[in-house]
Amino acid sequence: ETYAMLHAPILAHRRLVPDDAPLELAVVIPTRNEAGNVAALLTALEAALGDIVWEAIFVDDDSPDGTADVIREIGRTNIRVRVLQRIGRKGLASAVVEGMLATAAPVLAVIDADHQHDETLLPRLYAAVRMGGHDVAVGSRYIEGGGVGQWEARRHAGSRWATALAQRLLGRSKMDGPMIGDPMSGYFAISRDAFREVLPNLSSVGFKILLDILASAPRPLNVVELPYVFRNRTVGESKLDLMVAFEYLELLLDKTLGRLLPLRLMLFAVVGGLGLAVHLAVLGIALGTGLTAFATAQALAVGAAMTFNFTLNNVFTYRDRRLRGLRLVTGLLSFYGVCLVGAAANVGVGALVYDAQHVWWLAGVAGAVIGAVWNFAASSVVTWRR
């Protein structure tokens, strides 16, 4: 009797969802500083989902506002609710993937925690996958009946532009049917089987997990879009910032050239190209002052370019392993060391090729490529080691 009293809320819930009713739907909810939104979201989901047997899997990136603890508190009396707490901020797309991997449900849905996605559409997204036989059902802002509410003109234009880019990337090959209107949506349901098929090809970078899924499909997916109106956020703040926009470009890069080259190598190469421009600018300015000999000016330019490359790689290419504090200093010194060895390899290989072929530009390019590959490989294990 004491046991029954202590566990009354849990037992009451068990009666609602009998043991023999199999789980039908997992609702994956990525969170970052959403403590003020989760309770009301769960209430809204309960009301919307009716007698579907579902569970909520929150994936929280260690929110400083204590979101994970708020969810755990609810989870003590509501066995539908679980939270996967990750340490540090790792990003929306990878949060969704990990949440989907953590459930036994046959249909996997994603919804934002901030009430911007209209949860009353969720039963129809679920039904379209479960009963309708679609691989993916997308809550869409950009088809008849959908909309974005009141957005500032800038966000509107940005979203349109990003959508057009995504549609170009997807082409018609990835979908069995018409071009998707809202590939940037973060609100959708997918069958476990389709998710399993795309999983090996996912980039899991940035915000756009649906686009990632569609572009990763090994066969054309059967996608249906259902309209909804994107609401305004009333509690908490959006996490969309410049880094998220940058990560979107990363996703596009990985989806187009990722089969040929690792994303990190591509970023490292872009930074290297910018570093060359810095090198030439510093060299030109130093010589222009007329105060330095060529060798001194060149040494200055090399130092500036190495420091520039280190900084950019630390902020972008290796932002997941970013060095701070004292390790920033030791990291910079190790990067200088790596680059000096790379320069020696560059000169050595260039000379070898020149001796054999006597084609100056071929020797130059060969030396530069070997030097760059060395810099990339060595700095990844020395400067930005895990």
Sites of contact with Mn ion (CB under 5 A): 114, 116
Q: Which of 54, 91, 109, 264 binds ligand GDD (CB under 6 A)?
A: 91
Indicate whether 322 belongs to the interface with ligand GDD (CB under 6 A). no
- The answer to whether 301 and 282 are in contact (CB under 8 A) is yes
Nearer to ligand GDD, 55 or 118 (CB): 118
Site for ligand GDD in 40-59 (CB under 6 A): 59
Distance CA 176, CA 239 (A): 33
The binder of 89, among Mn ion, ligand GDD, none, by C-beta within 5 to 8 A per type, is ligand GDD
Indicate whether 184 belongs to the interface with ligand GDD (CB under 6 A). yes
Written as one letter, the residue type at 83 is V
- The answer to whether 22 and 105 are in contact (CB under 8 A) is no
Binding-residue total with ligand GDD (CB under 6 A): 25
Indicate whether 61 belongs to the interface with ligand GDD (CB under 6 A). yes
Scanning 84-92, 100-108, 217-225, 350-358 for contacts with ligand GDD by CB under 6 A, the matching segment is: 84-92
Site for ligand GDD in 248-267 (CB under 6 A): none
Nearer to ligand GDD, 94 or 383 (CB): 94
End-to-end alpha-carbon separation of the chain, Å? 53
SS3 272: helix
Indicate whether 72 belongs to the interface with ligand GDD (CB under 6 A). no
Minimal CB distance residue for ligand GDD: 186
Nearer to ligand GDD, 34 or 250 (CB): 34
The binder of 239, among ligand GDD, Mn ion, none, by C-beta within 5 to 8 A per type, is ligand GDD
**Beta-sheet pairing, 25-31 with 107-110:** parallel
- The answer to whether 221 and 214 are in contact (CB under 8 A) is yes
Tokens 């249909």 map to which residue?
107
Scanning 27-35, 213-221, 254-262, 280-288 for contacts with ligand GDD by CB under 6 A, the matching segment is: 27-35
Strands (E), the chain: 25-31, 54-60, 81-85, 107-110, 136-140, 188-191, 223-227
- The answer to whether 271 and 316 are in contact (CB under 8 A) is yes
Q: Which residues contact 272 (CB under 8 A, 6 or more apart)?
A: 309, 372, 375
Site for ligand GDD in 207-246 (CB under 6 A): 207-208, 230, 238-240
Indicate whether 114 belongs to the interface with ligand GDD (CB under 6 A). yes
Q: Which of 13, 89, 124, 192 binds ligand GDD (CB under 6 A)?
A: 89
Q: What is the DSSP string of 261-316?
A: S-HHHHHHHHHHHHHHHHHHHHHHHHHHTT-S-HHHHHHHHHHHHHHHHHHHIIII
Phi and psi torsions of 107, nearest 5°: -125, 135
- Chain contacts with ligand GDD (rule: CB under 6 A): 30-32, 34, 59-61, 89, 91-92, 95, 112-114, 116, 184-187, 207-208, 230, 238-240
